[in-house]
Amino acid sequence: KINAGIYLLNPSVLNMIELRPTSIEKEVFPKIATKKQLYAMILPGFWMDIGQPKDYISGLRLYLDSL
């Protein structure tokens, strides 16, 4: 499974984040999970990492070709 890095959080979660460099995935999500309040959505279909400029262009090309 891949974490797409898109989060929908209750504003109260901000109180769990310390004012220092913090990993949401490693420090905050485990706290939420212990309260059984962490959920995920599986996205059916194609997914592509477009974090680098060349990958973004490749993804855009794939999308435009599909139109």
For each successive 10 residues of the chain (67 residues), what is the average pLDDT?
A: 80 91 92 93 86 96 95
pLDDT for the residue 44: 86
In the chain, the amino acid numbered 58 is S
pLDDT for the residue 27: 92
pLDDT for the residue 42: 84
Kindly report the three-state secondary structure assignment for every residue of the chain: CCCCCCCCCCHHHHHHCCCCCCCHHHHHHHHHHHCCCCCCCCCCCCCCCCCCHHHHHHHHHHHHHHC
pLDDT for the residue 3: 76
pLDDT for the residue 5: 74
* Block residue for tokens 């990492």: 49
